[in-house]
Each structure stands twice: as structure tokens, then as C-alpha cells.
Amino acid sequence: MRGGDVRLARRVRGGQWPNCIWQSMQRSGFDSSQMWFAETSNPSRAGQDPVETSSPVIRAKRSAYEALREPLRRLGFGHARWPRTFAILDLIFDPRGTAASYDREFAGRADPWNYAGDPRELLRHRLAIEFLDRARGRRKFTRALEIGCAEGVFTELLAVRCESVLAVDFSQLALERASVRLKGIGSVAFAQWNLRTDPFPGSFDLIVVMDVLSGILRPGDSRAARSRLIAAMRRGDYLLVGDHRQAPEFENSWWGRALVRGGKWIVRGFTEHPALECVEHATTETHVLALLRKR
Ligand SMILES: C[S@@+](CC[C@H](N)C(=O)[O-])C[C@H]1O[C@@H](n2cnc3c(N)ncnc32)[C@H](O)[C@@H]1O
């Protein structure tokens, strides 16, 4: 370990953070071993996780920022109060750039976003399914790709509407839970796959990417992911895209648009794309969703 890592690690471990923040960091699953042993990343992940290739110092700083972000938000010092500051910090540190950041959420508890009980999430999934049902009529989609399947809540709804589904996620823990949930459903296969880096695993008449692109916090990376998604589609293929909304500071500003922050701008990037036709669109209290078809 180099000197910089030791200094940063000691700052975090040495109690210079206010106690409530430190406890909150631990509750939120902050893994201090990452600070000390940043160089011992899992070699089987190499090539899938772009952040794993960063220097240990950058990884340690990113890890500290990621661990602080949520507790600070809960204390009222997050994006809502300083949207621009946090947007810039997100841009620098890219705190959702690793599978590890999601693994921590899944390790913290099952169903971390309360998909099973939150009426706003249930509404979002219902609207998305209604879009798909209107588009498919009596037939099933032939081959669907669900990107960022998490624990498989939406996969389950998708499975009965498709002849086959490839459900992918870069979080191994999410995939394990999803495969338990869908055990015995032979038409669904799971694979670890990273939207940012991995080649597309084939052709699909339906691609689903919901609440995933908001984790890509650098606008260049977000635009690159959008281009890759569109390039992977053939004429007539469908894309279901959706993401959660952000505070009005993001939704109503030129810089929110430039940073591609939040569901409104993420989805707008697809609905305004000349290669795509918007078939369905909805805005709820928490989300923006669209079903698009390649021209
Ligand atoms: C908030 S959950 C969304 C779950 C589901 N798509 C839904 O909308 O109900 C985001 C999921 O996307 C996965 N994810 C985030 N970035 C990813 C990436 N670059 N490649 C693959 N999966 C990713 C996370 O691991 C997590 O399981």
C-alpha cells in the first residue's frame, strides 16, 4: 500500500469524521477493508469493472465518497441542498461505477429499493408491463435482454411475456438472488455483464433498461451507453427505458440536461434520437418511462 492510501485510510478509520457520519457509513455497508486492501480486488472481475483498474488511491477516495454520499443525504446535506456541488463530485468520483457499490446495497438488505412494497415502484412496473402488452398484442417477444435485472422482480413479469429472456447484471449477488427467485423457469437465463464495457450478447427484439442509466454519472459514459444500446438494435426492435426523476434543479436546468441527470433527460436522450420512434411515454411522481422502436 502506498503512503497516500495509508493516510486516507487512517483519516477514515481514525475517527476524524463526526461520529454520526462514521456510524452511518458503517451502517450503509462501508467496507473499510477496501481502504486497506484496495489492491486485492477479485481477479475474476477484471475487465468487467472499469473502476477496478484505477489506482488504489483513486479507488479509496471513490469508496470514501460513495460511503459518505448516502449518510450525508439522510442528514440533509445531499443533492437536494447542494445539487451542483454533488453533481460535480459525482462526475469526478463516479460512485456508481462499480458492481461493488451495488453489492453493498444488496448485502445491506434484500429488496433494497422496496420493489415489492413501494406503491410508486409497483406503479412503474405496472405501467412498463402495460406498454409491453400493448406493443406485443397476443404474441410474445421472441428474445428479450433485461439489463440490470437486480433481484429479478421485473424479470418475473417479463418471463411470461417473452419466449426467452437473458437477464444480466454486473452484481453477482443480485444475479444469485434473481436466479433463486426464478428457479425452475427454463426460459430465463442469467449472466454477469457490464453495460459500460462488455460487448452486446447478441440480438434481441426487446431490450429493457430501467433504473440503470442513472448510475452512469458521467455524461460522456451515459451518452456512450445510449449509443451502444441503439447500435445493438435492429429495425423494428423495441427498447423499454426508464429512470427515476431528480429534483427540479436538475430537471429544469441546462446543466441537468448537459449532465444527463435523472429520468427526464435520460429518457429524452432516447425519445429525441432520430433512429428511434417513441411508442409509449409516461411520467409518474417518481419516474419517466418510454417504449421506443427502432426505425
Ligand atoms: C436500481 S436497480 C434496477 C432494477 C430493475 N431494472 C428495475 O428497474 O426494477 C439497478 C440494477 O442495475 C445494475 N447495474 C447498474 N449498473 C450496471 C452496469 N453498468 N451493468 C450492468 N448492471 C448494472 C445494478 O447492479 C442493479 O442491480
pLDDT score at 27: 39
d(CA 254, CA 152): 35
Ligand 1 centroid to Cα of residue 26, in Å, is 23
CB-ligand 1 contact for 100 (6 Å cutoff): no
Ligand 1 centroid to Cα of residue 214, in Å, is 9
Domains and CATH numbers, the chain: 3-97 (no CATH), 119-294 (3.40.50.150)
Nearest CA to ligand 1 atom 1: 211
pLDDT score at 39: 24
Length of the chain: 295
Compute the Cα dihedral for 30, 33, 37, 42 and give only its sign.
negative
Ligand 1 centroid to Cα of residue 145, in Å, is 13
Ligand 1 centroid to Cα of residue 186, in Å, is 22
Average pLDDT per consecutive 10 residues, the chain (295 residues; last block may be shorter): 27 32 36 27 37 64 74 72 82 88 92 95 98 98 98 98 98 97 96 97 97 96 97 98 91 91 96 98 97 98
Test site for ligand 1: of 171, 182, 212, most ligand atoms within 8 A of the Cβ? 212
The values of phi and psi at residue 50, to 5°, are: -60, -30
pLDDT score at 82: 77
CB-ligand 1 contact for 212 (6 Å cutoff): yes
Q: Which atom of ligand 1 is nearest to the CA of 106?
A: 27
Which of 5, 14, 108, 24 has the alpha carbon at shortest distance from 68? 24
pLDDT score at 177: 97
d(CA 11, CA 251): 36
CB-ligand 1 contact for 196 (6 Å cutoff): yes
Ligand 1 centroid to Cα of residue 149, in Å, is 6
CB-ligand 1 contact for 225 (6 Å cutoff): no
pTM value is 0.80
d(CA 212, CA 45): 19
Intra-chain end-to-end CA distance of the chain, in Å: 53
Ligand 1 centroid to Cα of residue 18, in Å, is 32
Nearest CA to ligand 1 atom 14: 148
CB-ligand 1 contact for 150 (6 Å cutoff): yes
Neighbours of 56 (CB within 10 A): 20
Q: Residue 268 to residues 149, 199, 226, 233, 271: CA-CA distances in angstroms?
A: 22, 24, 11, 18, 5
pLDDT score at 53: 54
Nearest CA to ligand 1 atom 4: 150
10 Å CB burial of residue 285 (0-12, 13-18, 19+) is exposed
CB-ligand 1 contact for 287 (6 Å cutoff): no
CB-ligand 1 contact for 95 (6 Å cutoff): no
Backbone conformation region of residue 184, classed left if phi is above 0, alpha if psi is from -120 to 50, else beta: left
pLDDT score at 11: 27
287-294 and 276-283: which strand pairing? antiparallel
